[in-house]
Amino acid sequence: MAKTVQSIRGMHDILPPETAAWQFVEGRLRELMEAYAYHEIRMPLVEQTGLFARSIGEVTDIVEKEMYTFEDRNGDSLSLRPEGTASCVRAGVEHGILHNQQQRLWYMGPMFRHERPQKGRYRQFHQIGVEAFGMTGPDVDAEIILMAARLWQRLGLADEVRLEINTLGSAEARAVYRRHLVDYFAYHESQLDDESRERLHRNPMRILDSKNPDMQDLVEGAPRLADHLDTESREHFDGLLALLDALGVDYRVNHRLVRGLDYYNRTVFEWVTDHLGAQGTVCAGGRYDGLVRQLGGRATPAAGFAIGLERLISLVAEHGFDTPAGEPHCYLGLLGEEAVASGHRLAEGLRDALPGLRLQVNCGGGGMKAQMKRADKSGAEFALILGADEVREGRVTLKPLRGGEQVNLARDAVANELATRLQLESKA
């Protein structure tokens, strides 16, 4: 045990009982994307480091201390992607699919951040991301929020999450506001804690996020971004809230909601829950109208969000709908050497006839008792038994494992019997 190799810290294997839940949730997500006519895009896991520095922001925690960065053999600095938006925009610009047109895209896959692991936070984690390009108005903001809302509905989580929303205004308005904020906090610098003092000039808006109880009064008294909004952003936000009202989406405006990535402007939102410990954000997103241009494309408005799959799946496991476990319908036991070839032939025939059938065939021999034990443990509803007697007589024994009488069937009647009992589509 001493010399075994372990997985990298914060990077976890996902094992069979759990992969079933992942597949279920991923399936629902794909259906959701199709329901809104979004198209899948797949990007590399590795990009030039500069892409993330330029988009996420040089002074963010992600870029400063959380990226997996290494040197390629030719000396280029590469990084494992810490999030998907930057890569998606890069790919879109590189292939011209954002130029002068609308695009609705999604992707799903692993992301990497070198943080201290914690509940709901891992160094390799998975996100599904949605990005909509080329639409200026609040209607698309509302659309992506509706997508998320529908997902909670479909997974039985509607009562477990709530929407918080805010607007950051335009980059220009934010710059003005930022100056007011720095002035305010600088005036009260003696009341700032060490962290906030550190943030004062580097990233002052993050001070508003402080959870330090001693600073709540100071933060409450700070100038509000809402009072410094440019007219267009104000109207955009009002328009979005009106849409959400009209569509029956509940939300809470949270003036202190500031996203950690630099590229956001105007709308930002988070879906949060109380059931995930300290990492309560399941879904986060917003508008990033400047990013496409910043990464070398023609100015293109954009909005999107990302959902953390580990967080989503743990929420579903504890508070959402049951996910199917993927057990076989049927376990075929084979007694004796003479039954092996015959049994596999039978199994192949059943799989031909019943494409939806999940059939596990006994391998590795064993007596009746051992095979019945395996059948039970597999979770199958039925055992099929093929021994020397059955082979000789052209028959198969079907034994219900969860109650009911065992029956002896003609070999060519098995498919129909299973189709009926399991309510499967038959091809024959």
Partner RNA sequence: GUGGACGUAGCUCAGCUGGUAGAGCUCAGGAUUGUGACUCCUGCGGUCGAGGGUUCGAAUCCCUUCGUCCACCCCA
Site for RNA in 276-305 (CB under 7 A): 277-284
Nearer to RNA, 38 or 305 (CB): 305
- Distance, CA of 112 to CA of 122 (rounded, Å): 8
Binding segment toward RNA, per CB under 7 A, in 89-97, 238-246, 398-406, 415-423 = 398-406
Pairing of strands 330-334, 382-386: parallel
Scanning residues 126 to 185, which ones bind RNA (CB under 7 A)? Answer: 127
Scanning residues 324 to 363, which ones bind RNA (CB under 7 A)? Answer: 335
Q: What length does the chain have?
A: 428
Nearer to RNA, 62 or 142 (CB): 62
- Distance, CA of 365 to CA of 205 (rounded, Å): 67
- Distance, CA of 375 to CA of 410 (rounded, Å): 21
Question: How far is CA 336 from its chain centroid?
Answer: 47
Scanning residues 25 to 44, which ones bind RNA (CB under 7 A)? Answer: none
- Distance, CA of 299 to CA of 167 (rounded, Å): 20
Contact of 332 with 361, CB cutoff 8 Å: yes
Residue from the set 134, 156, 223, 366 that interacts with RNA by CB under 7 A: 366
By the rule CB under 7 A, 370 interacts with RNA: yes
Among 311, 256, 295, CA closest to 94: 295
By the rule CB under 7 A, 402 interacts with RNA: yes
Residue from the set 235, 250, 348, 376 that interacts with RNA by CB under 7 A: 376
Binding segment toward RNA, per CB under 7 A, in 143-151, 159-167, 240-248, 256-264 = 256-264
Nearer to RNA, 12 or 224 (CB): 12
Pairing of strands 69-71, 103-112: unpaired
List Cα–Cα distances, 179 to 132, 260, 312, 332, in angstroms. Answer: 31, 19, 38, 73
Among 313, 164, 185, 319, CA closest to 244: 164
User: In this structure, what token pair is assigned to residue 230?
Assistant: 């440019």
CB of 61 to RNA, least distance (A): 4
Nearer to RNA, 57 or 297 (CB): 57
By the rule CB under 7 A, 399 interacts with RNA: yes
By the rule CB under 7 A, 316 interacts with RNA: no
By the rule CB under 7 A, 60 interacts with RNA: yes
By the rule CB under 7 A, 67 interacts with RNA: no
Contact of 305 with 165, CB cutoff 8 Å: no
Among 38, 53, 229, 41, CA closest to 135: 38
By the rule CB under 7 A, 422 interacts with RNA: no
CB of 177 to RNA, least distance (A): 18
In 3-state terms, what secondary structure has residue 383?
Answer: strand
Residue from the set 81, 113, 174, 228 that interacts with RNA by CB under 7 A: 113
CB of 185 to RNA, least distance (A): 14
Scanning residues 184 to 213, which ones bind RNA (CB under 7 A)? Answer: 195, 199, 206, 209-212
Residue whose token pair is 């009202």: 245
By the rule CB under 7 A, 119 interacts with RNA: yes
With CB under 7 A, what is the number of residues at the site for RNA? 71
